[in-house]
A and B are shown apart, each in its own frame.
Chain A
């Protein structure tokens, strides 16, 4: 009886799902294609490798690069993007001394309260403060940026697929829509209707190809790196920024992989021991000739 009901129920679900399949197939035949090709699908590029020193299981921080990235953040990005999960005290990990961290914090104005009147004001930051948001709230951020809220950057490299490479590719990825082509095919020719709406910029590394952010890094003279550092080209600054945001997203990343190796080593040793222990325990009852 259960089997009979089961067979009927099974046929019910099968017919119902195949009914959907039939409808789907009919649609595909009617359209003559599996799915409508879109510019977002055809012309979206996978991220280019940023090639950071922190990449991979043996990665380490390049402190000079992180400091350069921070400099780019402070002088360019911070006018629109916050870094709300990073505290000034955390910056000591980038190789800044205690005095430098204090000075660096004081360089930012954070929300405060006037001790004499109790009114809201701003004060210079302390090492215990977090990076302030450039806008008082999302409405203000939206109003100042043509209706697009600049996202907080703290977790950016973890919040996007292939994060660090994505940041690097996006910052260096602005292209001219009229000439952009992939494999000899131009966007303009393939998708006549595809356009870059007002206040957006064509960037094939961005999911829908049109990003609200204007090209933030323009090169020449935008940032002056300290003596002995590489020239601040757009490519260099983008790579530095990718490195810095990798750190802000996961300050414990290098510590994690560095601890991982001894842990795996110990486990491997223990597992080998367990293998021999098992062999020794089982030796007593091991059949001379095993048969499955």
Chain B
């Protein structure tokens, strides 16, 4: 892994030398996120979100573990124990708000990370595995976020659990047994609260495991970059530390400012008031909505309003909702164009900025809006575009597009000239 010019770890301190012989952990860190990892010199701030996502994961695990010390996963007392955390546990209010808003920030960062990948086609060879693992992380994250939303056992918790497990009920024949099996009963109750708590505690560690694989897979080809050109020579790269640790440090500061602004001045801004009402199976809220980070997919689910031949509308919605994410798995093979960066793909770029981004924005908005007209019709148009974009437009664009000329190398893109380019006459321009 890594490039031939990557620096090797040379312990100076005798203790570190001893350590390096017995367990080369410092060597691993040095090569992964230290001076031993050469990174393209032209990464912009869109490359900050991976580190921030890692920070969020640690933040969620740390705050979550402390919250779990005070929370009681029992349908009878879960809501009261959450209030106990808010009122009586030392700094409990801050921990809970940090965890709830931390989840929102995690998803915000992840969405930016994913859309960075869309624009710069980070999923293309040789980084398909990095991308596939990333989609797995996103799915695990959604499962974890959903189960966490259920734990306070408020009205939205309860009804979200009912609606989401109800989705499995749409599967023909085996749907209902699956739903009952998932819930451990016929309606959400103690059984489901307990298993969701157990899984909500487990999955973050599974995510941490997949994150390690994600980073490992990334380190084999090395990071991509805004030009989409592969690293050609040493002058194309700089060591991760101190350059990107310094750059990410600033990004982390901006992230923390936004996060703490939310935590201390609007901790309930992204939540729903109904979740401060204790779960009541006999009273259905006027509008059942999940947390904001599920809204695009919730909008897709709800936009299938008519039976399609022999497929019931509900099943169609469930299929579409899951397919909307599963389609990401196939991106590396749907978008076969050789050029990666959107900067050099004029046609792709138009569809990205004037198609995908507005469609996602509309889906975000409509997913949080009540299921009424005109929101349903608007989200139907956006849903249609969403599927067309990934499954029809992207494959066709990648076939017919004439990309703009690429610079010879990253160095040329940054400095305006690359001495190696003059020498390397037989080097193949392009990829």
**A residues within 8 Å of B by Cβ?**
2-3, 6-7, 9-11, 13-25, 28, 34-35, 57, 85, 90, 151, 154-155, 158-161, 163, 207, 249-252, 256-257, 259-261, 263-264, 267-268, 270-271, 274-275, 277-278, 281-282, 285, 287, 289-292
Contacts and interface: CB of A to CB of B under 8 A. Distances in A.
A155 B254 CA distance: 33
A25 B261 CA distance: 43
B94 A256 contact: yes
Interface in B384-431: 384, 387-388, 390-392, 395-396, 413-416
B260 A9 contact: no
Given A14-B387, A17-B304, 20 more contacts: A2-B333, A11-B392, A14-B384, A16-B316, A17-B383, A19-B308, A20-B380, A24-B305, A85-B83, A155-B276, A249-B276, A250-B86, A256-B264, A264-B261, A274-B246, A274-B250, A275-B250, A278-B247, A285-B41, A287-B416
A278 B246 contact: yes
A13 B246 contact: no
A251 B87 contact: yes
Interface of B: 41, 80, 83, 86-87, 93-94, 97, 238, 242-243, 246-247, 249-250, 252-254, 256-257, 260-261, 263-265, 267-268, 273-274, 276-277, 286, 303-306, 308, 311, 313, 316, 320, 323, 327, 330, 333-334, 336, 343, 372-374, 376-377, 380-381, 383-384, 387-388, 390-392, 395-396, 413-416
9 contacts: A9-B391, A10-B391, A13-B383, A14-B384, A159-B274, A252-B93, A260-B264, A281-B246, A285-B243
A20 B303 contact: yes
A21 B384 contact: yes
Contacts of B380: 17-18, 20-21, 24
Contacts of B80: 85
B41 to A, nearest CB: 7
Nearest to B386: A13
A16 B320 CA distance: 10
Given A20-B380, A292-B413, A260 B392 contact: no
A290 B414 contact: yes
A205 B108 CA distance: 34
A23 B305 contact: yes
Most A CB contacts (10 A, CB to CB) among B83, B384, B395 go to B384
Most A CB contacts (10 A, CB to CB) among B252, B265, B276 go to B276
Contacts of B374: 34
Given A2-B330, A14-B387, A274 B253 contact: yes
Contacts of A281: 242-243, 246
A90 B87 contact: yes
Contacts of A285: 41, 238, 243
A270 B93 contact: no
A44 B424 CA distance: 73
A282 B308 contact: no
A152 B372 CA distance: 31
Given A282-B243, A287-B415, A34 B316 contact: no
Most A CB contacts (10 A, CB to CB) among B273, B316, B390 go to B273
A16 B265 contact: no
A56 to B, nearest CB: 9
Which 8 residue pairs spanning A and B have beta carbons closest together?
A10-B391, A260-B264, A271-B253, A159-B276, A20-B305, A3-B395, A21-B380, A13-B387
B377 A24 contact: yes
A256 B243 CA distance: 36
Nearest to A10: B391
A252 B86 contact: yes
A10 B373 contact: no
B249 A3 contact: no
Given A158-B273, A252-B86, A256-B94, A10 B387 contact: yes
